[in-house]
Amino acid sequence: MVQRDALQAGPESGRKHGGAPRWPWLVYLVGAMVCLLCSTLSHLLACHSHKLNLFFWRLDYAGISLMIVTSFFPPIYYVFLCHPLWRLVYLSSIATLGVFTVLTLLTPAFSSAQFRPFRAALFLAMGFSGVVPAAHALWLNWDEPHCLLTSVYELAMTCFYAAGAGFYVSRVPERWKPGAFDIAGHSHQIFHVLVIAGALAHYAASLVLLDWRDRTPCLPSI
């Protein structure tokens, strides 16, 4: 019900009724769509030539980084809406880490297979950098049911992403039976399914927070 109400509100409704800004939520949606678009293009065109292979896989890594960074915008913006300093600190920190990650992954040397665990570690580091703002948010809003519900969604998202990274690095199950999973069921497909599941969990969390901020604006300072 909370998610449906937030969806029905929409960007225009929020502005008309003085609700929370919609742009952080839209930033995440755009980031997720760009990430999936980059992934689609990479899997479709990377086999064209060695040169394009390197280019598109780097594009894929950049898309993943973009999705991780933009996923921080809705929760941090809405939870810390009444704390602009902390909002700026956390969003600036993740944006800086994201730029560093993209620049690192665009370096040709890090595109090779031997750096596969390193790439996964970078993505996980970006994701788990949200532990500090999440703990801070819970401390500030421990008595808010919306924030507690959001924590459940975000925990589910973390589990999906961590499991996806585990499959990505370990190459299970194809390493157990080479050739049996060449068409379906290999680790990269499982990785993508888990990433989409994590993105949907985060989408649901963002809608809960958006609905909460529409109903609970900041109190004017005395």
CB neighbour class for 130 (10 Å; exposed up to 12, middle 13-18, buried from 19)? buried
Measured N-to-C along each axis, helices 187-215 and 2-16 cross at an angle, to the nearest 10 degrees, of: 60
Is 50 labelled a binding residue? no
The tally of CA atoms less than 13 A away on the side-chain side of residue 118 is: 11
User: Measured between alpha carbons, how far is residue 105 from residues 2, 36, 44, 47, 155 in Å?
Assistant: 38, 17, 20, 20, 27
Is 43 labelled a binding residue? yes
User: Measured between alpha carbons, how far is residue 210 from residues 18, 30, 36, 66, 199 in Å?
Assistant: 13, 17, 24, 21, 16
Is 83 labelled a binding residue? no
Residue 176 near residue 123, CB atoms below 8 Å: no
Smallest CA-to-CA distance from 19 within 222, 220, 212 is with: 212
Q: Which residues are annotated as a binding site for Zn(2+)?
A: 43, 188, 192
Q: Which residues are annotated as a binding site?
A: 43, 188, 192
